[in-house]
Chains A and B, each alone.
Chain A
C-alpha cells in the first residue's frame, strides 16, 4: 500500500480516513529510527510533514476525536488531489493530553525529533497559550484551531496563526445585531465564573450597546456549582433575553432547572452551542431549549440550503444529517468547531504553494506567505463560508450561524455578515522579527 516513495498515495487506494492518518504516521516512527535516510536524497518527493498536536486524552478527548476525523478527511482529500506542491501530506499525531505543559513538550518534539514542517490542530486555549512560546522559540509555524482570541490579541508570537476558525470576540460581537433586532433589548447574561465566561461578560455588553440594546444583569456561576436554582431569582423580571454560556457536566442540570424555574412562560433564550457540543440536543432535560437559539460556527444539522461544498465536506468527514457519525447515531460530532481543521489545512496548502515551500528552511517564507493572504472564497476548501484574513493579527473573520431549536433539530435562521464580526486590530505581528 505504499508507493515507491514510501508514503501512501491515497488517491490510489480505498483506505479509510483513520488508516490514512495512522498509516502516514508510520513514517514518523521510522524517521526516528537510527539510520533513517529514506528521504535525505529526495526531499522534493518527501512528504510535507504536519505535526498534529491532538487532544487524544484528557478533558479535550471528545473534541480531539472529531478533530482527528476531520483532519484525516482533509488530508485524504488533499492527497487525492495531488498533495501540496506535488508532495503528499503526512500527519504525525502526538497526544498533548489537553495539558499545556505537555503541549509545549509536544511542539518541541515536532520541531526537533519529528522535524515536521508545521504544528497544527490545537483546540483548547490553555494548550495553545502554553505551547505558543515553544513554537516561537523553535521558529516553527503553529496553526491552531482554537477559537480563542489569544491569537488575534497579538499577545502570542509571529509563528502562531488561526486562519481556519473565527475567534470568540468576533463571534460574540456578531451575535449582537440579531439579538437586539429579534430576541429582545434587555439581556441578562449567565456564564461560568472564569475566563471562558469573561469573554462573553466583556465582549457582549459593548456590542449590544452599539445596537441599542443593553445587558441588564450579569450572573457569574462558580465553576464547581452543580445546582443553579438559587441563582435564578437574580434574573431581573424585565429580562427579555437570557444569554447563557454554561459549560461542563452540569449544563443539562442547568437547563432542566431553568425550565423548572420558568415553566412555559420564559424570556427568549440565546446560547452558544459550546455548551452542548457533542451532546444530543434531544437529551432528557433539554426539552426547555425548544424554540431557543444558539450560535453555531458550522451547523450541526444538515440544512435545506446546504451548498454542494458543505454536503461534500460532511460526507468526507462522515457525519449524517443530524451531525452524528455515519453508522453511529449516538456519536454526536463537534460540528460547530471541527470544520476549522479542514479549512486550516487548505490555508496551509495555499500558503505553502504561494511560498514555494520546500522544507523547514522555508518556514519564515511560509509565515510571510500566510500573512499575505487576505481572503478565502467559499467552496470545497472553505465549506463553512467565505472568510477574510488579517495578516497583521493572524486571524480569519467569517460568517456565523444562529440556529433555532425546532422539532428536535437545530435550524439555521440567520447567517451573519463578515463585517458584523470585524474589530480594530489590537497589534501587528508582522512587526516582530522572524
Chain B
C-alpha cells in the first residue's frame, strides 16, 4: 500500500519504489528423576551393555548441594528433565523424506520450466494488474495515534499487569500478533504497517508542536544505508531467540518502551522518512515482506491486485546493507529452527532430553545466530558470483547480488509462516483472552476474557499431518516463487536466454538446498 501523502511511511525502501524510487541508498523429561544418589547406587547386577554411555558423573551433584549456594551451577547438575513426546513425534512418523525429495524436485523443475518459457511471456504475466478502488491517506495519522495509544496501554500492562506471559497481553501481542501475525498479513495484504506503526502519528504531532521540519535536524549520510537497521534487527533477533526471558512482561515492556523512545527521538532528529528507511527495522522488514503481497496501492491511492511477488520484480538493486538485512531476516528465523534441533544441541554436547534452558545456551546461541548469517551470506554471494561468471557477465557483483537478493523475500516469508504457524494458532487465542483484560483486573472488554484456549488445535496425529503439509507447502511454494523472482531478475541482468539460465543456475542450487534444509528443520527431532 504505497501512497504519496507526506506521511506515507516512505516505502521505506527508497530503492524499491518503481514510481518514486530514489534508487540505491549507496531470526518433559520427566519431572521425574533424582538429584543423585548419596551413595553409589547398589551395584547393578548386570554389567553395562556395550554402547551404554557413561553419562554424567552423578555423584557430584550430591556434594554440589552442600556447597555454598552461589557455587551451585544448576546446569552442571545431573538434570533430569521431562522431554515431552511432543507433536514433533507424530511428524517423525510421517514420510517426510519423500517431501524433502519432492520439494527439491519441484524447485528444480520450476527452474527448468522457466528456462524453457519464451522470454517475454513471464514478463507480460507478471505485469497484469486488477485495479480496485482508491482511498485517501487522511486516516493515516489518526490510525497511527490509535496504534500508539494501544502500544502505550500494552507497555503499562507489561509493567503492571499479570506476570504470566500467557495472560499478559504485551508478550502475546509483540511476539504472536505483531511478529508472527502482522508479517503474515503484510505478505497477503500489503503494507498495513505503514498505517499501523506507532510512530507516524506521534512524530507528526511532535514535529508540528516543535516546529521542526519533516527532515529533522540532521541528515543521515548516504553511506549509512540500512546498516542501523541491520544492527537493530540483530539486537531484536538476539532478544527474541537468545535472551533468557523475552516473554517476561516487565522485561519486554522495558525493551519495547526504550526502543519506541529511541526510534521516536531518531525520527525527530533525522526525519521520519529518513529513519524509517535506514533505522527502524520493523518498518523495513515489513515493507520488504509487503513487496511480496498480491495487493498494491499506487501513487494516486488506488488499490489493485497483482500476482504474488510481482511487485518484487519492479525493485531496484539493494545496497550491501540491504542485502545484509534481508539475509539476516532469513538466517535468524532459520537459526531459531536449527537451534532447537537435536543435531545442533548435539554439537554442543547438550542432551536435548534434559535441555538446560535458555540461560545455559546464550553463548552457543549467539555464536549460532552470527554463524548462520555469515554462512547464508557467504553461500548467497558465492552463488551470485558463480552465476555471474557462468553468464560471462561483467556487471559488478553488488548490482547482481542487490537485485537477486529480492528473491529471498518469498523464502523468508515462507519460513516465517512455517515457523510461527503453531504459535499463531495457540498463542493467538491466549492473546485474544488477554486483550480483554489487559491489566488482569477482571475486565472483559471484548467478551473473550474467559474464552477457552483450545490447545488441542495443534495436538495429535491429525493436526500434525495438516500442520506438516501446510508448513511443507509454504516452504516449497516460497522457494518456487523465489525461483520465479530470481528468474525475472536474471532476465533483467541478462536478456539472452542461455546466459540468464546460466546466471541463475548456482542460485537455484542454493534454493534447492535451502528447501531441503527448511523441510528438514520441520521434520527432524527438536526440543519442546
Residues of chain A having any CB pair with chain B under 8 Å: 1-2, 8, 15-16, 18-19, 21-23, 25-26, 28-30, 32-33, 54, 56-63, 65, 68, 92-95, 97-104, 114, 123-127, 129-134, 136-137, 145-150, 153, 155-157, 167-169, 171, 192-196, 198-199, 201-203, 205-206, 209, 214-220, 222-224, 226, 231, 234, 247-253, 256, 272, 274-280, 283-285, 324-325, 327-332, 337, 426-427
Contacts and interface: CB of A to CB of B under 8 A. Distances in A.
B29 A147 contact: no
B478 interface: no
Interface string B161-177: 11111110000000000
27 contacts: A16-B452, A18-B450, A22-B162, A56-B247, A60-B82, A62-B28, A63-B84, A98-B355, A101-B360, A126-B74, A129-B65, A131-B74, A153-B38, A195-B58, A199-B32, A199-B34, A203-B41, A209-B45, A222-B53, A223-B83, A223-B352, A250-B525, A253-B93, A256-B93, A284-B461, A285-B461, A332-B459
Nearest to B161: A29
A253 B441 contact: no
Given A29-B163, A169-B34, A62 B86 contact: yes
Contacts of B459: 278, 280, 330-332
Contacts, number: 410
Interface in B66-124: 66, 69, 72, 74-75, 77-86, 88-90, 92-93
A183 B167 CA distance: 47
A195 B165 contact: no
Contact of B48 (A60, A137, A218): A218
Contact of A148 (B31, B49, B356, B454): B31
A32 B161 CA distance: 10
B247 A277 contact: no
Interface string B348-363: 0001111111111000
A148 B34 contact: yes
B485 to A, nearest CB: 35
Interface in B30-61: 30-38, 41-42, 44-46, 48-49, 51-53, 55-56, 58, 61
B100 to A, nearest CB: 15
A104 B74 contact: yes
B52 A100 contact: no
B381 to A, nearest CB: 33
A279 B461 CA distance: 9
Given A275-B85, A278-B459, 14 more contacts: A26-B439, A29-B162, A30-B160, A58-B528, A68-B164, A137-B69, A146-B32, A168-B30, A168-B32, A217-B46, A223-B351, A247-B85, A248-B352, A325-B454
A146 B44 CA distance: 26
A148 B35 contact: yes
Interface string B411-437: 000000000000000000000010001
A245 B387 CA distance: 53
B131 interface: no
Nearest to B526: A249
B166 A56 contact: yes
A18 B524 CA distance: 34
B390 interface: no
B455 interface: yes
B433 A248 contact: no
A250 to B, nearest CB: 6
Nearest to A133: B69
Contact of B33 (A23, A125, A155, A329): A125
The DSSP consensus for interface residues of chain A is: mixed
B442 A19 contact: yes
B29 A59 contact: yes
Contacts of B437: 19, 22-23
A153 B80 CA distance: 15
Contacts of B528: 58-59, 61
Output the residue of B37, B79, B345, B453 with the most chain A CB within 10 A.
B79
A162 to B, nearest CB: 11
A256 B83 CA distance: 18
A218 B41 CA distance: 15
A194 B461 CA distance: 28
B401 to A, nearest CB: 37
A359 to B, nearest CB: 21
Contacts of A224: 342, 345-346, 351-352, 525
A362 to B, nearest CB: 23
Contact of A33 (B38, B160, B525): B160
Contacts of A16: 450, 452
B229 to A, nearest CB: 28
B374 interface: no
Nearest to A283: B461
A308 B325 CA distance: 62
A256 B525 CA distance: 16
B298 interface: no
Contacts of A59: 28-29, 81-84, 355, 527-528
Contacts of B52: 193, 218-220
Contacts of A203: 41
Contact of B452 (A145, A215, A328, A329): A328
Contact of B81 (A28, A30, A92, A126): A126
B240 interface: no
B456 interface: yes
Contacts of A134: 69
A248 B34 contact: no
Contacts of B61: 129, 155
Given A94-B163, A101-B74, A249 B83 contact: yes
A99 B359 contact: yes
B26 interface: no
Contacts of A250: 89, 92, 525
Contacts of B58: 195, 198
B31 to A, nearest CB: 4
Contacts of B48: 218, 220
B495 interface: no
A25 B164 contact: yes
Contact of B357 (A97, A137, A168, A279): A97
Nearest to A134: B69
B80 A196 contact: yes
B35 A155 contact: yes
Given A147-B30, A202-B42, A330-B459, A100 B75 contact: yes
B251 to A, nearest CB: 11
A284 B464 CA distance: 11
B353 A194 contact: yes
Contacts of A98: 81, 355, 357
B143 interface: no
Nearest to B44: A205
B215 interface: no
A92 B52 CA distance: 43
Given A54-B164, A63-B82, A2 B442 contact: yes
B121 to A, nearest CB: 45
Nearest to A129: B77
B366 to A, nearest CB: 16
A247 B87 CA distance: 13
Contact of B78 (A103, A146, A192, A195): A195
B355 A153 contact: no
Contact of A220 (B30, B49, B441, B449): B49
B90 A252 contact: yes
A252 B93 CA distance: 8
A99 B90 contact: no
B178 interface: no
Contacts of A426: 38
Nearest to A28: B163
A100 B31 contact: no
Contacts of B21: none
Nearest to B362: A101
B440 interface: yes
A285 B81 contact: no
Interface string B438-449: 011110000001
B89 A249 contact: yes
